[in-house]
A and B are shown apart, each in its own frame.
Chain A
Amino acid sequence: MEEADTEPPLVVVPGADPASRQLCFEWGPAEVLVCETRFGRGGGSPAPGGGWAPARFGPVRPRAGGGDAAPGSSRVFVVRRDQDIYIQTLRKLFNESHGVFIGLQRCEEELAGKSRKAHLVQVSKNYRSVIRACMEDMHRAAAATRDPALHSQYSTQVSILSAMELIWNLCEILFVEAAAAGPLLLRLLDWIRLHVCDVDSMVREVLSSENPSKHKLFWNVVDVFVLQGRMDEARHLLSKEASANPTSMSMYKVLDDLMMKMPVPNLGNTQTLTELELKWQHWHEECQRYLRDGTFASNPHMESICKILAGDENAMLEKKELLTTWYHFLVTRLLYSHPTVKPMELHFYAQSSMDLFLGEESSPEPLDTILMAAFEFELHQVIKECSIALSNWWFVAHLTDLLDHCKLLQSHNLYFGSNMREFLLLEYASGLFSHHSLWQLGVDYFDHCREYGRVYLELHIERIPLNTEQKALKVLRICEQRHMHEQVRSICKIMAMKALRNNRLGSALSWSIRAKDAAFATLISDRFLKDYCERGCFSDLDLIDNLGPSMLLSDRLTFLGKYREFHRLYGEKRFSEAAKLLLMLMTAHIAPCSFWMTLLTDALPLLEQKEVIFSAEQTYELMQCLEDLTAGKPDKQKLLDDDVETTKVEMLRLALARNLARVIVKEGTLEGS
């Protein structure tokens, strides 16, 4: 990535002719490519993913043409960014590794020094354990299925997962644990023993036979044990053979002795490297002496074992079938010729081992290149090759993150975006977000991308389809926890709009209150008032009566709440309080002018009550309101034309006048007495 990368692969859309028709691209929950094609309606649809999709742009599913009815004109392709995301059996991998990832980010700062390294190795092992568990499941699924196509699909996945674990394990040894000379070889041996398992069935077959030493594969098994450095097991087998051949007992004894005495590095740090080297040198010479003396000349099997012990590369290469891979050869070669190999010397032996093993005829495969890059300690090359070769972002994203925590990638900054770790995590998380169900996992990955994570999250989270309120609540919670106010508003607005369309005014109001969206609350309040004007009664009383402090969100909502309060007071026959409230609504200009007429009409029954409710002063104010209303009308003529309105105004005037008369009398008498 330092050098200018190769051009991104060209995606040829089947049937599209960019020269004559326009192509356009729309980004959504899944990336959608809309294009015009030459295909007719009944024309052959392109084979999904038929060879033209690049590695990470998975199966393209042609969908029926859109609204455009012109025959043979349009076709919609859905392009998915991360094909592996959609594999059902891998969901377990994504979910489980998410937990490991979060754990790793959490205890970032707490640990230091040695315990930190131990912890990182543990995390790495946990990741591998997750891969392994997934592989196990996939294997079971492959065995259970009858469908050959499905079977081969599962088998492919198993081999990919297996390769991922192989690479991961090597990276763990070389980078995370950074094993030093000595222990390094032991780790590599473990690695080989764990991953080269073609021979396992053979070993099992021989061991389970009645007389192992007579089995035709007996010597092969002994060779496997020797090649993998499993001396105890090899000696155990040999002792069986020895007891069956008392004549050559002494020969077996010598070989057994050699194998027992072989010095191996130990983890206990009780011996220094030079000490080991000395011992080993001594042992090595002993092996060669026996070879020169022709001690094993009578038995070709034992002679070849002794040659291997003495580090004879040709003898090893003769066992190519049993070694199966060049990296096995490499480790065996190191074991018997350079047991104290230093990490930095590895690449030299690796290169020559690969050349020797593969010979002229076959060229290295991607996996070989990746492993070679690891042996060369070319971290970035490993990540780059993996990105190219693997069909998912999961592997590189998690591996890079782990290596970043090992402080191995710090110097590396990209000329775009933030750094490599973040770039890969963003890619992976974006893939998760394009999935209908895994998007929740993506959130945490974005959280741990310091620079662009938030922007990505903001853009993605708004595009989550919200089919139920519960899902909306979950998305909202994500946004609220991260103080993403803009997104909270937008989600609430979407939900409020939905509720409004469904005629659920109460729900709509609840949503806009949650979003603190004053404009929308006003809109809904107007709907409520309109409904009231039409039907003469309120709907959703349980909500309006319980507005509480949220009533203050918008003026109109305040009015709605207060107006409903007026109705309640009126219903409870607390007339004077109701009257006061009603007047206040108008004089304080809380009520919208368009609603004044209704309010004044509401005052009518109060004015007509037996007892006097409005004081003289209040009555004057009411009259003022009425005059303001009628005078304010730009077209007086029009108002007068309307019979109902005219009657209303006249009735009001009459009632006001009568009330005024009564109140003057009443107030006068009261003062007089």
Chain B
Amino acid sequence: MIKRRGHKIRKGSQGSPQPIPGPHPPTTAQGRGGHFGTTAAGSTSVPAPPMAAPAPPSRSSPVSLRARRPPAANGGRRGRRRERARGGAAMEEVSARFVAQKISKARWRPLPAAALQPPDVFATGSWDNEDNRLSVWAVGELGSGEYLGEPQLLCDIGHDGDVMDMQFLDQERIVVASSTGSVTVFRHHQNNQTLSVNQRWEKAHYHVDQDTSCGGAACTGVICNNPEIVTVGEDGRINLFRADQKDAVRTIDNADSSTLHAVTFLRTTEILTVNSIGQLKIWDFRQQRNEPSQIFSLTGERVPLHCVDRHPNQQHIVATGGQDGMLSIWDIRQGTMPVSLLSAHEAEMWEVHFHPSNPDHLFTCSEDGSLWHWDTSTDVSEKPSFLHHGGRSTTYLSHSTINQSVVCAWLNNDPTKDRMEITNLIPNQTLSVNSLDVLGPCLVYGTDAEAIYVNRQLFA
């Protein structure tokens, strides 16, 4: 082992080559002139021919997101100044932090009903660690308007097993699904910044032999509609809990013969699940039968579905993401097959989210390390397409001039009338983006590269 004789760190630098731009998260968005196809219901997706030559990546030279200044030798911490990208058209506010744990889930804390300010607190869960943690972070401005560069840890607490899914029940409570099969409600005490266990259902998901040590089955998905909590797991079981009751309100054993990967609410009594053989099922808790009220499925190859989200305003529109990275849009009023199949990522799509208040925007992230922003809101009169290339290369579909607002863009499966703008928000990423969440103008995502990223000006 070697040590330097004088090992104090130099502060600042006068004329020295430091600080060096760090190899940091993307500063400017760069689309990929990828294949993009949309086809009518049922048929498998065919990559459409390249629409137009994608704009050359006009990315300005890598700009450091945070100027690195080694601290003073006495440990005094200097304020960090964030450098903004100069020149580039897209001036994005991305801040990053390496957190020394692989992030499996990231979720914004919901805003109080009348709030106008953007969200500033989010929670993350880790996976594949010897001791996994649930952490709560803050992003925001310090009084003087100076940006607090990276997210700051407010508090964290150990979690037994991988965090498989996580949802905020309300402002204070977080429901966490574990790979051990238990479901835990944590309470975040905001006055003294601590986390504590509020309620726990041990072995909410389990394999047949409940007594053996390996009896727990991973709980893969959780969704909340205060006070109701629905969980699904690798055991194909669906549980309905109420936050204030010790026992499950309803359990559907063997709801699915394969693994259930995700769940979301359709209406207050109905839920949607997706499984590993490419099926989308609707369950109605009003019915006493333990059978789904409707089954939708992908045709042909039974490609597993990994995530599901419902359009916030038009409840019949549902988006799912599959193992092959395909985005499927379903209209659950009609048919049993997806309305459109959009070939997207190159590997598993881990999450899909409609923007909660701006549902013309959709976000997906994938194992291949990309995070895509799908925008169907593009109004021709507003954004002349020829002038909009600076900084990001985008793929345009042809123009839609009429009835844009009447027919929901997501169901418009006629490519000639549809126009969609897709932007890859992370160029050059290699490891999986496991989770993302959008709220207001803010996006948070976590990766297997043990970093969390926050973009606070999504629509800038």
Instruction: Enumerate chain A interface residues (CB-CB to B < 8 A).
Output: 55, 88-89, 91-92, 95-96, 98-100, 102-103, 106, 125-126, 128-130, 132-133, 135-136, 139-140, 142-143, 155-156, 158-160, 162-163, 166, 190, 193-198, 200-201, 230, 233, 324-325, 365-367, 370, 389-391, 436-437, 440-441, 444, 467-471, 473-474, 477, 481, 502-507, 510, 513, 539-543, 546-550
B87 within 8 A of A: no
Say yes or no: B129 contacts A436, CB within 8 Å.
yes
B8 within 8 A of A: yes
Once bound together, how far apart are the Cα atoms of A587 and B151, in whole Å?
69
Please name the residue on chain B nearest to A233 by beta carbon: B14
Say yes or no: A542 contacts B162, CB within 8 Å.
no
Render B199-234 as a binary contact track against A, CB cut-off 8 A, 1 for contact. Answer: 000000001110000100110100000000000001
Contact with A507, one of B73, B258, B348 (Cβ below 8 angstroms): B258
B395 within 8 A of A: no
Residues on the B chain within 8 Å of A91, using CB:
98, 100-101, 450
B286 within 8 A of A: no
Once bound together, how far apart are the Cα atoms of A437 and B20, in whole Å?
29
CB distance from A206 to the nearest CB of B (A): 15
Say yes or no: A126 contacts B277, CB within 8 Å.
no
Contact with B21, one of A129, A142, A441, A481 (Cβ below 8 angstroms): A129
Say yes or no: B8 contacts A510, CB within 8 Å.
no
Offer 30 A-B interface pairs, CB within 8 angstroms, sorted by A.
A99-B430, A126-B23, A129-B22, A132-B70, A136-B68, A136-B70, A139-B70, A140-B75, A162-B4, A162-B9, A193-B14, A193-B15, A194-B18, A197-B9, A324-B6, A367-B2, A437-B102, A440-B102, A469-B218, A470-B162, A503-B209, A504-B234, A505-B257, A506-B277, A507-B259, A510-B277, A542-B256, A543-B258, A546-B277, A547-B302
Residue picked from B11, B71, B220, B257, most chain A C-beta under 10 Å: B257
Once bound together, how far apart are the Cα atoms of A550 and B452, in whole Å?
40
Contact with A135, one of B70, B98, B254 (Cβ below 8 angstroms): B70
The 5 closest A-B pairs by CB, nearest first: A506-B257, A540-B257, A143-B75, A159-B7, A197-B10
Please name the residue on chain A nearest to B99 by beta carbon: A92
Do A468 and B207 form a contact, CB below 8 Å, given A542-B256, A542-B295? no
Please name the residue on chain A nearest to B104 by beta carbon: A470
Do A130 and B23 form a contact, CB below 8 Å, given A504-B236, A507-B257? yes
Once bound together, how far apart are the Cα atoms of A135 and B70, in whole Å?
8
Render B153-185 as a binary contact track against A, CB cut-off 8 A, 1 for contact. Answer: 000000000101000000000000001000000
CB distance from B30 to the nearest CB of A (A): 14
Say yes or no: B10 contacts A200, CB within 8 Å.
yes
Chain B interface residue count, CB cutoff 8 Å, equals 77
Residues on the A chain within 8 Å of B22, using CB:
96, 126, 129-130, 133
Residues on the A chain within 8 Å of B304, using CB:
510
Please name the residue on chain B nearest to A196 by beta carbon: B6
CB distance from B299 to the nearest CB of A (A): 8
Render B440-454 as a binary contact track against A, CB cut-off 8 A, 1 for contact. Answer: 000000001111000
Say yes or no: A88 contacts B297, CB within 8 Å.
no
Residues on the B chain within 8 Å of A102, using CB:
428, 430
Say yes or no: B128 contacts A190, CB within 8 Å.
no
Residues on the B chain within 8 Å of A156, using CB:
1, 3
Please name the residue on chain A nearest to B10 by beta carbon: A197
Residues on the B chain within 8 Å of A507, using CB:
234, 236, 257-259, 276
B40 within 8 A of A: no
Please name the residue on chain B nearest to A391 by beta carbon: B1
Residues on the A chain within 8 Å of B347, using CB:
477, 481
Do A89 and B100 form a contact, CB below 8 Å, given A95-B450, A365-B2? yes
Render B61-97 as a binary contact track against A, CB cut-off 8 A, 1 for contact. Answer: 0000000101101110100000000000000000000
Contact with B1, one of A125, A160, A196, A436 (Cβ below 8 angstroms): A160
Say yes or no: A502 contacts B208, CB within 8 Å.
yes
Say yes or no: B9 contacts A158, CB within 8 Å.
yes
Do A133 and B257 form a contact, CB below 8 Å, given A128-B20, A471-B128? no
B192 within 8 A of A: no
Say yes or no: A548 contacts B218, CB within 8 Å.
no
B47 within 8 A of A: no
Question: From residue 236 to 287 of chain B, which have CB atoms closer than 8 A to chain A?
Answer: 236, 254, 256-259, 276-279
Please name the residue on chain A nearest to B74 by beta carbon: A201
Residues on the A chain within 8 Å of B70, using CB:
132, 135-136, 139
Do A194 and B430 form a contact, CB below 8 Å, given A467-B179, A503-B208? no
Once bound together, how far apart are the Cα atoms of A354 and B19, in whole Å?
30
B432 within 8 A of A: yes
Do A502 and B207 form a contact, CB below 8 Å, given A197-B9, A548-B300? yes
CB distance from A321 to the nearest CB of B (A): 12
Once bound together, how far apart are the Cα atoms of A193 and B14, in whole Å?
9
Residues on the A chain within 8 Å of B16, using CB:
190, 193-194
B431 within 8 A of A: yes
CB distance from B276 to the nearest CB of A (A): 6
| Besides A96-B98, A546-B279, 12 new A-B residue pairs in contact (Cβ under 8 A), listed by A number | A129-B20, A129-B23, A132-B68, A133-B22, A136-B9, A163-B2, A190-B17, A194-B18, A197-B6, A201-B73, A389-B2, A391-B1
CB distance from B14 to the nearest CB of A (A): 7
Residue picked from B4, B20, B22, most chain A C-beta under 10 Å: B4
Contact with A100, one of B13, B23, B276 (Cβ below 8 angstroms): B23
Do A325 and B6 form a contact, CB below 8 Å, given A125-B20, A133-B22, A510-B276? yes
Residues on the B chain within 8 Å of A543, using CB:
257-258, 277
Once bound together, how far apart are the Cα atoms of A163 and B6, in whole Å?
9
Say yes or no: B450 contacts A92, CB within 8 Å.
yes
Do A139 and B21 form a contact, CB below 8 Å, given A163-B2, A469-B259, A506-B257? no
Contact with B348, one of A196, A436, A441, A473 (Cβ below 8 angstroms): A473
Residues on the B chain within 8 Å of A160, using CB:
1-3
Once bound together, how far apart are the Cα atoms of A100 and B5, in whole Å?
29
Once bound together, how far apart are the Cα atoms of A143 and B236, in whole Å?
49
CB distance from A27 to the nearest CB of B (A): 20
CB distance from A530 to the nearest CB of B (A): 16
Residues on the B chain within 8 Å of A370, using CB:
2
Residue picked from A142, A370, A440, most chain B C-beta under 10 Å: A440
Please name the residue on chain A nearest to B235 by beta carbon: A504
Residues on the A chain within 8 Å of B4, using CB:
159, 162-163, 166, 195, 367
Once bound together, how far apart are the Cα atoms of A436 and B129, in whole Å?
6
Once bound together, how far apart are the Cα atoms of A441 and B451, in whole Å?
13
Say yes or no: A99 contacts B257, CB within 8 Å.
no
Say yes or no: B68 contacts A198, CB within 8 Å.
no
Say yes or no: B279 contacts A140, CB within 8 Å.
no
Do A468 and B162 form a contact, CB below 8 Å, given A92-B100, A197-B8? yes
B382 within 8 A of A: no
Residues on the A chain within 8 Å of B302, using CB:
510, 513, 546-548, 550
Contact with B9, one of A129, A135, A474 (Cβ below 8 angstroms): A135
Residues on the A chain within 8 Å of B2, using CB:
160, 163, 365-367, 370, 389-390
Contact with B258, one of A142, A441, A510 (Cβ below 8 angstroms): A510
Once bound together, how far apart are the Cα atoms of A507 and B236, in whole Å?
9
CB distance from B322 to the nearest CB of A (A): 12
Once bound together, how far apart are the Cα atoms of A468 and B127, in whole Å?
10
Residues on the A chain within 8 Å of B430, using CB:
98-99, 102, 444
Residues on the A chain within 8 Å of B259, using CB:
469, 507, 510
CB distance from A224 to the nearest CB of B (A): 13
Once bound together, how far apart are the Cα atoms of A126 and B21, in whole Å?
7
Residues on the A chain within 8 Å of B258, using CB:
506-507, 510, 540, 542-543
Residues on the B chain within 8 Å of A98, using CB:
430-431, 449
B367 within 8 A of A: yes
Please name the residue on chain B nearest to A104 by beta carbon: B23
Say yes or no: A139 contacts B218, CB within 8 Å.
no
CB distance from B387 to the nearest CB of A (A): 30
CB distance from A228 to the nearest CB of B (A): 10
Residues on the A chain within 8 Å of B162, using CB:
467-468, 470-471
Once bound together, how far apart are the Cα atoms of A142 and B431, in whole Å?
30
